Structures are given as C-alpha cells and as structure tokens.
Structure 1
Amino acid sequence: MSIEIKLSRSNRTYRPDELLQGNIITKLPSSISHRGIQLTINGSVNLQVRGGSAGLIESLYGVLKPIRIVKKSIEVQPSGKISAGTTQIPFSMILKNQGEEHKFYETFHGANISIQYLLNVDVVRGYLHKSLSATVEFIIESDLASLPEKPVSPEMVFFYITQDTQRHSLLTELKSGGFKISGRICTQCLLSDPLVGELTVEASAVPIYSIDIHLLRIESIMVGEKIATETSIIQTTQAQSFFMLRNLSYIT
C-alpha cells in the first residue's frame, strides 16, 4: 500500500495569499479503516551542516534551534474507510488567513541555512496498525502585496580593480607594471533574469588569457550582538577564453 500528495501545480510554487490545493492519492490492495486523515503544513528556518571544514556558521550547529515560521493542520476526512485500488482525495488549505501577523519568508536552500515548507499527510489507523504518511515540499514566493507594481529599474554599480585592491599575492610583473579593470554591474534584478554588466580591461602588464566571473552566496546569522557570515560559490562562468590584447573592452 502507498500514499502520496500531488499538488495542483507542477512547479509546487505558491504565494502566502493563495490556496494550497491538490489530491491525496492512495493505492491499496484492500480497503482499510482509519481514524481520520490530517494535513499539516510545517515551515521553518534551519541551520544545516553539509560537511567540509567547520566554519563560523557550522560551529553554531546544535546550538541554534530551528525557527518556526508556520504550523497549521486541518482534517481532510473524519473517521471512515478508504476503498481498495487507487483513490484520490481532494484537499484545499489556506496558507495565511487575513489578519495573521506572522510573515512567510521565501523558500531558500543555501549551503548552511534553509527556509523550507513541507506538507505532510497522516492517515491514522489506530494502535494495531501503522499510520500511512507522506511528505512533499512546496515553494513559497513573495507576497503579491510586497511586490512592486512596476518592474524595478536596474541599479548599476561601478567598480574598478587594480593591484592595490588585491589582498592575495600577485606576480612580480603585475606588482611593478600594474593593471586596471573597470566596469559596472546591475545589482537589482529578478532571479529569472540574467545578471548583466560591462567590463573594461584598461591596462595590464601581462597578457590575459581568460576571465572568470564567480557568483557568490553570502549567508549570515545574528547571534547576540555578533553576526556570523560565510561565503560560498554558486556558479562560475568563463567570460573570455581566448588571448586578449591590452586595452580591450567587452560586454558580459
């Protein structure tokens, strides 16, 4: 026998002011009696350790307890029976009622921190039989009310890179001859939109063979009056892979 939850949306993405709808699907060799079918939503912020060298955030694992965002339960069916074969039991659940003050944060799966929302179903069968259970994760996006009415205009930030801005060791030729790279990048955009910018190599004492762009994730936890922060790489893109002459400008 098996049980699963199938949500109405294939991408399992919802906003807090929307209904969470779907079907509970059971596949049974014979009919069973139960003492009720219950659905429970659990949302929490968790600290997690994925292995590797211990960092500032990982050192707090086991000290910080999960922060509950929401926990809500409804009874889909009272005591009764479920027939043999495949049965679909529809459900509809309100994520956030009007007037509720608690805030839904967007789903996030980071290297050390996760914000997760789970929907669990339990078919209670009494003391002599094991309950049937299933869990599925659904994704929370921002409230419609918190979104801007119009697309946010891109905010461009200018930057420059020279031998004096680097903290790591450099080649002797770069230290003596120097180099300068300037550019600008859009710092405000949707996750579904590309990250765009402009990079100009103004001068370099040595030939440049490739340029890599790293997209980093920064995670922070406030503990008392201190903030523990760790950075991890999400994606690396090679912007240029051929021999580049000095004073060459290009768009990334």
Structure 2
Amino acid sequence: MSVEIKLSRSNRTYRPNDPLRGNIITRLPSSISHRGIHLTLNASVNLQVRGGSAGFIESIYGVLKPIRIVKKSIQVQPSGKISAGTTQIPFSIILNDGGKDDKFYETFHGENISIQYLLNVDVVRGYLHKSLSATVEFIVESEFAILPISPEMVFFYITQDTQRHSLLPELKSGGFKISGRICTQCLVSDPLVGELTVEASAVPVYSIDIHLLRVESIMVGENIATETSIVQTTQAPNIFFLT
C-alpha cells in the first residue's frame, strides 16, 4: 500500500497568492480504516554545510537554527475508510491567507543556505498501524516574477591593475585591457546577456571563460557572513581577433 501527493501543476511552481491544489492518491490492496487524512505545509530557511568546507558559515553552523517561515495544517477527510485499488482525494490550500506571521520568500537551494517548501500528507491509522505518509516539494516564485524588468547595463573594464591574484611577468610588464558591459537585472528564467572587448593584451588570448557566482549572506549579530560559490562556467563561444 502507498500514498502519493500529485500537484495540479507539473512544474510545481506557485506564487504566494496561488491556491495549492492537487490530489492525494492512495493505492491499496484492500480497504482500510483511518482516523483522518491531514495535510501539513512546512517552509523553513536552513543552514546546511556540504563537504565540510563552508568557511566562516561552517563555523557558525551550530549556532543558527532553522527559521520557520510558514506552517499550516488542514484536515482533508475525517475518520473513515478508503476503498481498495487507486483512490484520488482532491485538496486545496491557500498559501497566503493573510496571516500576519506568514512570510514568503522565493525557493532557494544554495551551497550553504536553502529555502524550502514541503507538503506532507498523513493517513492516520491508529496505534496498531503505521500511518501512510508522503512528502513533495513545491517551488515558490516571487509575485514580481511576472512583471517586466527594465534592463540595466553596467560597464566594466579589466586591467592588470584591477587584479588581486598573481599574473604572468609578461602581463605585468606589457599589460592588458578588457572592457565590456553586462545586464545586471534579469529574471532567473532569462539569459544573462552582455559583451566584452579585448582591447589590448601582451600575450595571445585563446579562450575566455565566464563564471556565474552565487553569493550567500547571513546576518550574525551586527555582522554579515558571506560565502561565494561557482554556479556555472561557460566558455565564450565567439572570439574575434583584430590585427
């Protein structure tokens, strides 16, 4: 016997004002009695250390406890029976019902920090039988994600004087200059666009790698702890050399 939660949206993505709808699906070899079917929505901000190399955030791992964002519980059905075979039980939960303590943030799965929304179902069967349970994660998206964002291009330049790491002697003496611009405001679902120009370089340029970094911050007292990790590395597809 088993129980499953199937949400109405295949991508499991919702906004705070959307109703969370779906079906509780039970598959039973024979009918069973139960003492109620309950749904619980849990959302929390968690600090998680992966691989034991999270720097300063790792040092405060034992200090910070999970922060609960939302917790709601509803009874889908009172005590009764579920027939043998496959049964679908519909449900609907309002995420943002106006509760003053409810705060919704976008789902986030970072290297050290996560914001997660989980929906759990329990078919309570009494003391002599183990409850049937299942959990599914759904994604909460910002209400502003559907609004158009005005692109904001930021200009930048890179030279031997802007670098903090060690450089080849040829670059130190001969120098280089790279200029460009990049859009700093965009939706997560949209491409990150920009352009760059290698204006001068004392050594040949064979490839250009672009790193997308994730910056995570935690407020600890009056200080902010920040960790940076690489999300994606992409090689610039088109390089044109001018002579």
| Number of aligned residue pairs | 243
Where does structure 1 lack aligned partners over 5 or more consecutive residues? 248-252
Counterpart position of 1:48: 48
Secondary structure of the equivalent of 2:68? strand
**What TM-score do the two structures reach when normalised by structure 1?**
0.92
Alpha-carbon distance in structure 2 between the residues aligned to 1:98 and 1:73: 15
Q: Contact conserved, 1:204 with 1:246, CA < 8 A, in 2?
A: no
Alpha-carbon distance in structure 2 between the residues aligned to 1:19 and 1:208: 53
Q: What letter matches 1:120 in structure 2?
A: N
Q: What letter matches 1:111 in structure 2?
A: E
Alpha-carbon distance in structure 1 between the residues aligned to 2:37 and 2:223: 45
Where does structure 2 lack aligned partners over 5 or more consecutive residues? none
Counterpart position of 2:35: 35
Counterpart position of 1:224: 221
Give per-residue Cα distances to partners, 1:113-163, cap 9 Å, x unaligned. 0000000000111111100100000000112xx4675x1210011111000
- 5 Å-filtered alignment, 1:158-173, equals 158-173=155-170
What value does the CA root-mean-square deviation take over the aligned residues? 1.6
Alpha-carbon distance in structure 2 between the residues aligned to 1:210 and 1:52: 33
Q: Cα gap change, 1:3/1:147 in structure 2, threshold over 3 Å: closer, same or farther?
A: closer
Q: What letter matches 1:98 in structure 2?
A: G
Counterpart position of 2:106: 106
Secondary structure of the equivalent of 1:53? coil
Counterpart position of 1:5: 5
Counterpart position of 2:26: 26
Counterpart position of 2:140: 140
Q: Cα gap change, 1:217/1:132 in structure 2, threshold over 3 Å: closer, same or farther?
A: same
Counterpart position of 1:94: 94
Q: Contact conserved, 1:45 with 1:116, CA < 8 A, in 2?
A: yes
Deviation at 1:226, TM superposition (A): 1.1
Alpha-carbon distance in structure 2 between the residues aligned to 1:214 and 1:130: 49
Counterpart position of 1:70: 70
Counterpart position of 1:80: 80
Secondary structure of the equivalent of 1:74? strand
Alpha-carbon distance in structure 2 between the residues aligned to 1:2 and 1:28: 7
Deviation at 1:240, TM superposition (A): 4.6
Alpha-carbon distance in structure 1 between the residues aligned to 2:36 and 2:169: 74
Alpha-carbon distance in structure 2 between the residues aligned to 1:19 and 1:204: 56
Alpha-carbon distance in structure 2 between the residues aligned to 1:177 and 1:73: 67
Deviation at 1:53, TM superposition (A): 2.1
Counterpart position of 2:234: 237
Counterpart position of 1:250: none
